[in-house]
Amino acid sequence: MSVVLSTRCERHKGVTFRDVSGNPFVGKSGINQHTPARVEMIRKTLCLLIAVQFPEIAFAYQFEFLNIKDDVHQRMAEQALLCFTSNPGKHRFSCDGKTFSTAPDVYLGSVNGLNLLTVDDVRRAVVWPDDPVRELSVTKIPRAALWAFRLVVDQCKKYRAGIQDGLRCSSHYGSLQFMHAMEGLKGESAKETQKAILDWSVFAYRVAVNKQDSSGYYNDKDYCEFFAKEPRSKFVNAMSPQDLDGGAQFPCQKKDSSPWQMSTPFALSCTWGSATCAEYTYGNNFIVRKAALGAILHVIQDSYAKGHASRGNDVAINTYECAAIRQFQVYTEQDHERHAQADTYPYPSTACISGEADVDGPVTASAEVIRMFFANEDESKLRAYLADHVFKLADDLKEAGATDFFRKPMLEVLDKRGTQ
């Protein structure tokens, strides 16, 4: 939910042209064949097409093709890594409201072979949930255009059934919205949403760590066999929906007919259909494991955006609060322009800066997860930390919906009812 789209197509001076993961645009020959001028022409053409064909969408949304307008997640993840490297042995060291200078590559022990985590690594990994099937690349112009059309114009209306409709739509509009600390069902209890977020975080942590036991590495295990044995829950139903006979409701096989593995959701790369993407690398690949770690940082950070979850003061939309969560927001119930406003870079409240609150800020929490990862701590400790100090629930809970500031204007609601 945190990629902000905009119709403003001006070129950013001094900015290296990169895809959403921070990789330079590189052609098949290994040379940057897509010059800034060519990329600029493509971007302006697509912006113009959207503005002409869908003027109301162009007005309401911010669309900057292949560039992130406000790199909130990248900046927070970078500061979290630098905070951790400056204070590697300190538990819950307060990082919010502080600035840390760039450090060299980070070599800190080994997590099943992974011993290096750089600033570029975390900046790329933390945006994986916004582009979960790696479509936003200048070498995939049709996919990037479809990504923008589905999420902004069409709003995934026919692709909200779940993971069987692909990760892109199901994570932004469907049953996987817990990846962004949001809820897809109006009226869902906060406890159910919180549990799904915690389950997702533990699953991602397992993939990131990739422990080995007598049967092999975790990431190599059969995905559908694993989820078929798990007790049904909101998270399990979303990750492995079943039909009436108890069978998997989506293909458990890759394009080469091999079964999905535990790491497959983090390893997909799409050229055409997002429900049948190719797995571009294997489960122990460090890119995949870093993406899983980035997914945890992402959901933590999203939960402090007021368009995602309600904490503390709901009015100051660009200030994040170190307070318990009262309500999870439902994107389809919101004014999307206001949601986008709240996804710009926020500033910490006094409680977050002081580090005295029971709930940690997003940078502190991200640094703590990185610390736990390199310490190879058990997943039970991760879950307990996130439940008590990040996704902690308030006493005055509300069912999922939209807070007053983000609620759709009444005229828009009435107009939609009148057309049904």
As a whole-number percent, the residues of the chain with pLDDT over 70 amount to 67
| 3-class state of residue 383 by DSSP | helix
Structure-block tokens of residue 223:
């995905």
3-state class percentages of the chain: helix first, strand second, coil last, to nearest 5 = 45, 10, 45
Residue 36 confidence (pLDDT) above 90: no
Question: Which carries the bigger pLDDT value, residue 351 or residue 6?
Answer: 351
pLDDT number for residue 148: 65
Question: Which carries the bigger pLDDT value, residue 26 or residue 403?
Answer: 403
User: pLDDT tens across 122-137, in order?
Assistant: 999 999 998 888 877 6
pTM recorded for the entire structure: 0.80
User: How many Å apart are CA 150 and CA 141, to the nearest integer?
Assistant: 14
Task: Give the DSSP letter of residue 369.
Answer: H
The closest of 380, 379, 382, 376 to 111, measured between CA atoms, is 376
Q: Which of 68-82, 135-149, 292-306, 399-413 bottoms out in mean pLDDT, i.e. has the lowest?
A: 135-149
Run of H or E including 143: helix 141-148
pLDDT number for residue 363: 96
Structure-block tokens of residue 277:
């993407």
Question: Which carries the bigger pLDDT value, residue 106 or residue 176?
Answer: 176
| Residues 98 and 367: beta-carbon distance below 8 Å | no
Mean pLDDT to the nearest integer, 54-67: 36
Average pLDDT, the chain: 77
Residue carrying the six token digits 């059934």: 161
User: How many Å apart are CA 282 and CA 218, to the nearest integer?
Assistant: 12
Count the Cβ atoms, other than its own, within 10 Å of residue 189: 17
pLDDT number for residue 66: 38
The closest of 391, 370, 365, 308 to 122, measured between CA atoms, is 370
| 3-class state of residue 24 by DSSP | strand
pLDDT number for residue 250: 65
Structure-block tokens of residue 33:
């064949």
pLDDT number for residue 169: 79
* CB contact set of 111 (below 8 Å; sequence gap of 6+): 208, 209, 210, 373, 374, 376
pLDDT number for residue 161: 67
User: How many Å apart are CA 82 and CA 100, to the nearest integer?
Assistant: 6
Question: Which carries the bigger pLDDT value, residue 381 or residue 411?
Answer: 381
Q: How far apart are the first and last CA of the chain?
A: 27
pLDDT-derived band at 67, boundaries 50, 70, 90:
very low
Rg (CA), the chain: 21
User: pLDDT tens across 253-302, in order?
Assistant: 776 778 889 999 999 887 655 555 667 666 558 899 999 999 999 999 99
Q: Which of 10-14, 117-121, 246-250, 389-393 bottoms out in mean pLDDT, i.e. has the lowest?
A: 10-14
Residue carrying the six token digits 């206001």: 338
Structure-block tokens of residue 143:
């996919």
Q: Which of 91-100, 238-247, 381-390 bottoms out in mean pLDDT, i.e. has the lowest?
A: 238-247
Question: Which carries the bigger pLDDT value, residue 171 or residue 149?
Answer: 171
User: How many Å apart are CA 249 and CA 242, to the nearest integer?
Assistant: 5
Mean pLDDT to the nearest integer, 37-59: 47
Where do the DSSP E strands lie in 205-280?
Answer: 212-213, 216-217, 268-269, 278-279
Residue 120 confidence (pLDDT) above 50: yes
| Residues 326 and 398: beta-carbon distance below 8 Å | yes
pLDDT-derived band at 392, boundaries 50, 70, 90:
very high
* CB contact set of 93 (below 8 Å; sequence gap of 6+): 83, 84, 87, 364, 367, 368
| Residues 166 and 294: beta-carbon distance below 8 Å | no
Question: Which carries the bigger pLDDT value, residue 232 or residue 412?
Answer: 232
Q: Which of 73-82, 97-106, 141-150, 181-190 bottoms out in mean pLDDT, i.e. has the lowest?
A: 141-150
User: pLDDT tens across 158-197, in order?
Assistant: 766 677 777 877 888 888 999 999 999 999 999 999 999 9
Query: How far is residue 199 CA from its own chain's centroid?
Result: 15
The closest of 63, 61, 77, 62 to 21, measured between CA atoms, is 77
Q: What is the CA angle 410-130-207, rounded to 5?
A: 130
pLDDT number for residue 420: 47
User: pLDDT tens across 320-366, in order?
Assistant: 999 999 999 998 888 878 888 887 788 899 999 998 899 999 999 99
Question: Which carries the bigger pLDDT value, residue 316 or residue 29?
Answer: 316
